[in-house]
Structure 1
Amino acid sequence: MRRVEHVMGLPVSLRVDDADVPGEAADAVFAWLREADARFSPFRADSEVSRLDRGEVTRISAGLREVLGLCEEYRLATGGAFDARLPGRGLDPCAIVKGWAVQRAAGLLRAAGARRFCLNAGGDVAVGGGPWRVGVRHPEHAGRLCAVLEVTDGAVATSARYERGDHILDGRTGRPATGLLSLTVVAPTLTEADAVATAAFAMGAEGVEWAAARPGCEVFAVDAGRRVRRTPGLPPAAGERTGRTPV
């Protein structure tokens, strides 16, 4: 089973290698992702997030409560570097929502009997039944990879400046985070991988060690000096081509 749709402002591809998984499982995955986008996007005026930000909601859903709880958890853990409520900006929980929603979608696949699958949301992936080879894009050369990781059951997420420029802000200063070129996290779930990657990137160079200290997380990062930093437990990698010796 293979399927691609544009959801949450990015391409989402699904591959399921189990022949006995019904097509309705894919329908459920993309229906859920569209629902999550409609409910939690700050770019939709009628979403629950937007209505909450305007003070129009007094009781929030369990899903939004969980998302906001994670936002607060990472705000505290990073000393404010990660913050879904930056001064002068509206509530924006997107850094949590994508990984959280895609991980829930992976749960739907498992519930439907999928054992070997890959769900890729704009380059952040949740996989099962591997090994799967997940490429990490070179932060300065779009057509090249700087690593290829083998992941069996888990998730990989990358935060970087190459697609959207300096879009990740350090909540402590309100300025773009520029200490890293890219940071990739391998974790048991995409909820963790995506949130930790974004939070660590917001922290700058110090975020590499912070992310590496998170339980179950492995890190591959390229700092602003083009040095590779990686944790010893990172899955096997090949093709590191950043132009500097790994440190």
Structure 2
Amino acid sequence: MPKPAWEDFRFDGIGTRWEISTPLPLSGTIRARLLSLVEKYDGEWSRFRPDSTVSAMAREPGRYELPAEAAVLGQLYRSLYGITAGAMTPLIGSSLERLGYDAAYSLQSAGSPVAPPRWDEALDWDGAVLTTSAPVVLDIGAAGKGQLVDLLAAELRSCGEDSFIVDASGDMLYCGSDPVSVALEHPYDPAKAIGTVQVSAGALCASAANRRVWGDGLHHVLDGTTGRPVTTAVATWTMAESTMVADALATALFFVPGAVLEQTFDFSWLTVFSDGSAAYSGGFEGTLFT
């Protein structure tokens, strides 16, 4: 991504690589606050850490109190669960584990795909309180990384930073005076781009079926009604004010057309399908190469 000669703060967190760019180097105090926020989020929501709250849910049912950000996350998931008729669900973790995308990264399928539990039968998500009737494997990966981007941006603003890029390996939020140009990665060749998009302010998120691939046709974007990998769309991009919303909608585009999502959400989008065709919103500020 072309950007001014800013200073970069790079680190690993929640299983991905982060890069926070600012005009001047961040102080040690600010860096420590950002890293603490990432650790706290991971400690609550990771299904790969045995000490997380989410891992506790997988061991036994009960009533679990999560941080305040759980409320808006639950509302977003509930809305998209309804719009996609259950295809997009935070309960998809059990289906991912079934196919080998588990805490040990075994990448060995345990059998045929199995759909996760239905929301109303297994989970009550009321604000920041989650109550489960049986052990469940919660996976908020479709929106959680975007939410953490937003939380880090809020922390930067509280520290007096007003120009920055928070880039979480494909999910980014830009705050600055001049637009930046971002390449759209080719879904079958990461070394190439299929186009570019101008980001003036706000979030740009991407999701691709080729990002986490293993076995024969297995990847991380599963249909919650069947537990099977999606085969129609291969890559999506979204632009919105909130990174959490953009992140979630990038996954939702694998299940429903962008025009359907536009009835509820204010965002722009691009979807590339497995047959090589593409669809996009009128407001998508990008250019596709021919």
Indicate yes or no: 2:57 matched with 1:4. Answer: no
Asked if structure 1 preserves the Cα contact closer than 8 Å seen for 2:207 and 2:250, the reply is yes
Which sits farther off after the overlay, 54-63 or 114-123?
54-63
Counterpart pick for 1:228 among 261, 278, 289: 278
Q: Is the 8 A contact 1:159 1:183 kept in 2?
A: yes
CA contact (8 A) 1:181 1:226 kept: no
1:174 to 227, 232, 241: 227
Distance in 2 (CA, whole Å) between partners of 1:137 and 1:118 is: 18
Structure 1 window deviating more from structure 2 (48-57 vs 93-102): it is 48-57
- What are the residue-to-residue correspondences of 1:14-93 with 2, within 5 Å? 14-17=20-23, 19=24, 22-55=27-60, 57-61=62-66, 62-86=68-92, 87=116, 90-93=137-140
Q: Where in structure 2 are there 5+ consecutive unaligned residues?
A: 1-6, 93-115, 118-135, 214-218
Cα distance, 1:231 vs. partner? 1.2
The answer to whether the 8 A contact 2:258-2:281 is kept is: no
The structure 2 residue matched to 1:138, chosen from 186, 193, 208, is 186
Q: TM-score, normalised by structure 2?
A: 0.75
Question: CA 1:177/1:81 → structure 2, altered by over 3 Å: closer, same or farther?
Answer: same
The structure that has the greater radius of gyration is 2
- Asked if the contact 2:221/2:251 (under 8 Å) is kept, the reply is yes
Identity over aligned pairs, percent:
26
Further displaced range: 36-45 or 210-219:
210-219
Cα distance, 1:212 vs. partner?
A: 4.1
Deviation string for 1:36-86 (max 9, x for gaps)?
112110111210111123336524123334433332222122211101114
**CA 1:58 to 1:120, structure 2 compared with 1: closer, same or farther past 3 Å?**
same
C-alpha spacing 1:132/1:213, structure 2 compared with 1 (3 Å): farther
Which residue identity does 2:10 align to in structure 1? V
2:155 aligns with 108
Structure 2: distance between partners of 1:10 and 1:21: 21
Partner secondary structure for residue 169 of structure 1: coil
2:126 match: none
CA separation in 2, counterparts of 1:20 and 1:41? Answer: 29
TM-score (ref. length: structure 1) = 0.87
Q: Provide the rounded CA distance (Å) in 1 between the counterparts of 2:57 and 2:75.
A: 15
Structure 1: 5+ residue runs without aligned partners?
none
Residues 66 and 51 of structure 1, relative CA distance in 2, 3 Å threshold: farther
Change (3 A) 1:39 1:70: same
- Is 1:21–1:113's contact at 8 Å kept on the other side of the alignment? no
Mapped to 1, the partners of 2:283 and 2:160 lie a distance apart of 30
Paired positions, count: 236
For the pair 1:197 / 2:250, whether they are aligned, the reply is yes
Preserved CA contact (<8 Å) 2:233 2:273: yes
Shift of 1:187: 0.6
RMSD of Structure 2 on Structure 1 (CA): 2.1
Which of 13, 18, 30 is residue 19 of structure 2 equivalent to?
Answer: 13
Q: Distance in 2 between matches of 1:200 and 1:28?
A: 34
Matched residue SS, 1:136: strand
**What whole-Å deviation, never above 9, does each CA across 1:204-245 have from its counterpart, x for those lacking one?**
xx333334444321011211111121211112x33x23x6xx
Q: Distance in 2 between matches of 1:100 and 1:57?
A: 25
CA distance in 1, matches of 2:208, 2:232: 11
SS at match of 1:4: strand
8 A contact 1:40–1:64 mirrored in 2: no
